[in-house]
Amino acid sequence: MLRDELIEGIRSRKAKVGVIGLGYVGLPLVLRFGEERFTVIGFDIDPVKVSKLNAGESYIHHIESSRLQTLLKQGQFEATSDFNRLSEADCIIICVPTPLTAKKDPDLQYIETTADAVCKTLRKGQLVSLESTTYPGTTEEILLEKFRTTGLEVGKDYFLVFSPEREDPGNPKFSTRTIPKVVGGVTEHCLEVGKVLYNSVIDRVVPVSSTRAAELVKLLENIYRSVNIALVNELKLLGDRMGIDIWEVIDAASTKPFGFTPFYPGPGLGGHCIPIDPFYLSWKAKEYDFSTRFIQLAGEINTAMPHHVVEKVGEALNARSRAIRGSKILILGVAYKKDVDDVRESPALEIMKLLKERGAELVYSDPYIPRMHKMREYDFSYMSSVPLNEDSLRSCDLVVITTDHTNVDYQLVVDHSRIVVDTRNATRRVTRGMEKVVRA
């Protein structure tokens, strides 16, 4: 049987793995499979990225180039933009972006395009795994439907699973290998092959009954975070009016040894999952005549946080007889979270956009983002990071801490700034000058 042949190929490491999308999800998978003696082909539409990877150069901060170079020397990895070579892979893993449209609807163009490419070369004995975050039903409604046109039978001729990515860039406690892997198959045979594939590189695999269940698992994980972050963001706004420090409250509540998990407020949500995933489920729920009011409310609160930060900036400047218009403002940290080189959906971008619309002169400093690039909704590609020193701080009317990188000297920031608006409680250990700090 093709199933048994593929399983044996995976277990013997003779099966070749193809990873589509060589970003923050796909590249760690390439390394994990390669380090377990699989031969891996990486596929990406970006020729610059492909060229760098083939030269052994990692473009992601927390991924060491030496790991790539080892696989290249051993002949276990190559990157390509030739999607006709998908036929060479026995196991194909799809890790492409799933953003939102301007109207906050799912944008599945990358999954659609990738599914079409796989469909052109799909052959007997292949496994296809979708890892991109999406709404329940995507694997069956898009991939399975497209693959039916080949005349191949799922679960017999080829195998189709969904396994949500759980990467947390920059997290030193968990790696691709140690984060449990959820897998759901279209059929029992699909699930069996999917479990064997991921068991070969991941410490623990968690099977679920269907691809739809697996798709909802990822949404639940991130909606859980979104809702709880929205809760503390709303309490931060209330605490601000009541004169209560929400950070002190969270620290005290965290001493309860049961029934409480701390979440922390901030300038908004960022990253490739949490700001996006709730909208995927809300959109799909409408098909069932169901309104996800709780989830939508959380989204509204989190989306409004950059506006709150800008209002605090305005108040801080007004207290010193200045306006936002004409003021020089330094944005400290543009990555979506600390210690990563990723700006996707970063709340700092929306804050910069709002401040620019109000007439501010902007500069930014981020040790992980030396230069900005153009994005779908924002274009700050003309900006480069300025050094964070006495001169750059003193030249600005106000500093907004939007990302709390651990390698920043916040005492230096406070000492040499006129005003600091801190959205991350990054100045909590500063010992002097706190009269210049405004928490937002």
Q: What is the DSSP code string of 74-126?
A: TT-EEEES-GGGGGG-SEEEE-----B-TTS-B--HHHHHHHHHHHHH--TT-
Whether 148 and 122 have beta carbons less than 8 Å apart is answered as no
* Final residue belonging to a domain, choices 172, 193, 209: 209
Q: Is residue 32 part of a domain?
A: yes
**313 and 178 share one domain:** no
**185 and 280 share one domain:** no
Q: Crossing angle for the helix pair 293-318 and 277-285, nearest 10 degrees?
A: 140
Q: Is residue 249 part of a domain?
A: no
**197 and 271 share one domain:** no
Q: Is residue 224 part of a domain?
A: no
Degrees (nearest 5) of the Cα angle 366, 368, 371? 70
Q: Is residue 223 part of a domain?
A: no
**186 and 270 share one domain:** no
What pLDDT is stored for residue 19 in this prediction? Answer: 98
Whether 255 and 248 have beta carbons less than 8 Å apart is answered as no
**88 and 173 share one domain:** yes
**177 and 272 share one domain:** no
Rounded to an integer, what distance in angstroms lies between the CA atom of residue 399 and that of residue 335?
16
Rounded to an integer, what distance in angstroms lies between the CA atom of residue 307 and that of residue 286?
28
Per-residue pLDDT of the chain (440 residues; tens, 9 = 90+): 899 999 999 999 999 999 999 999 999 999 999 999 999 999 999 999 999 999 999 988 889 999 999 999 999 999 999 999 999 999 999 999 998 887 888 999 999 999 999 999 999 999 999 999 999 999 999 999 999 999 999 999 999 999 999 988 878 889 999 999 999 999 999 999 999 999 999 999 999 999 999 999 999 999 999 999 999 999 999 999 999 999 999 999 999 999 999 999 999 988 767 778 888 899 999 999 999 999 999 989 999 999 999 999 999 999 999 999 999 999 999 999 999 999 988 999 999 999 999 999 999 999 999 999 988 789 999 999 999 999 999 999 999 999 999 999 999 999 999 999 999 999 999 999 999 999 99
How remote is the C-alpha of 152 from its chain's centroid? 34
- Catalytic: which of 91, 190, 273, 396? 273
CATH at residue 285: 3.40.50.720
Q: Is residue 243 part of a domain?
A: no
**360 and 281 share one domain:** yes
* Final residue belonging to a domain, choices 194, 209, 224: 209
State pTM to two decimals. 0.92
Active site residue 273: yes
Helix H or strand E encompassing 181: strand 181-185
Which domain range does residue 285 map to? 266-439
What pLDDT is stored for residue 270 in this prediction? Answer: 80
CA distances from 271 to 95, 198, 315, 340 (A): 15, 25, 28, 10
Domain count, the chain: 2
CA distances from 303 to 74, 231, 256, 345 (A): 47, 13, 30, 11
Q: Is residue 214 part of a domain?
A: no
**296 and 189 share one domain:** no
What residues are paired with 422 via a beta bridge?
401, 439
